[in-house]
Amino acid sequence: MKMKTALFTLLLLAAMAFHLSAATLNQTIASINADAKKDPAKALQSISASTKIPVATLEKEKAKHSNLSYGDLFAAHAIAKSAGKSFEDVAALKAKGETWDKVADSLGVSLDGKKKTQTAAVKPTPTPPQKTLRQIQAERMSGPGY
């Protein structure tokens, strides 16, 4: 059983370290939830080990946000850390019924664990006004030699 817990913890750490994609995040959430059905305390310990959030804090958050599964608890912390936001901010967005993809996107975080960088909109530079044929001919005619 200790081996299974160690493997589960490694799975969580690997998911955070190797950039979470939407599919991987959903798989990680499902895996955590499946393990939590068997032993919620060990699931909290694994989440704590990968997020560096004390188990007591996770327990309080789980009680306060009963709509969040154990996997959601992990996802909220992972996104909050990447976005530089609080767990409460992320949990509030999820409570509004948003998917984790939309929550991450609204906070400017990709699910690969990186903060999205916004590129400035490229504005076309105005083309300098072109001279008409008449203006070019007038300049030639007024130049030296005429």
Distance CA 11, CA 28 (A): 8
**In the predicted structure, residue 117 carries a pLDDT above the cut 60:** no
Burial class (CB in 10 A: 0-12, 13-18, 19+), 74: buried
Q: How confident is the model at residue 140 (pLDDT cuts 50, 70, 90)?
A: confident
Distance CA 48, CA 14 (A): 14
Residue type at 17 in one-letter notation = A
Q: Is the pTM of this model over 0.85?
A: no
